[in-house]
Amino acid sequence: MNPDALLLIYVAVTLGGLCGVGIFSELQRRRFGPAHPEDRVFRCTKCGLVYTDDHDADRSRCTQCGKLNAPVDF
């Protein structure tokens, strides 16, 4: 084999290995990363503001006018 072919094989194998490690690392990060909890959507009946709050909140106080509101069901 000539030196050009050996160098090409060496570079291709090295880049392939780095890509494989990067993909594996990204899959591990996604699998063990923190999950995004679903927030509940609220709409104020007094001022019309749409806002979110924790997923376990049954009623939430409007941040603009202070009225308690029930979550919006889609």
pLDDT reading at 65 higher than 90: yes
Q: List the domain range (segments joined by +) for residue 64.
A: 40-69
Co-location of 31 and 44 in the same domain: no
3-state helix, strand, coil in the chain (%, to 5): 40, 20, 40
Co-location of 46 and 19 in the same domain: no
* Residues 24-61 pLDDT 10s: 999 988 887 776 678 899 999 999 999 999 888 889 99
Q: What is the CA radius of gyration of the chain?
A: 26
Mean pLDDT of 18-26: 95
- Rounded to two decimals, the pTM is 0.50
Co-location of 1 and 29 in the same domain: yes
Distances (CA, A) of 12 to 2, 15, 24: 16, 5, 18
Residue 62 lies in a domain: yes
Residue 6 lies in a domain: yes
Task: Determine the residue type at 40.
Answer: R
CB-count burial class (<10 Å; 0-12, 13-18, 19+) for 61: middle
Co-location of 11 and 26 in the same domain: yes
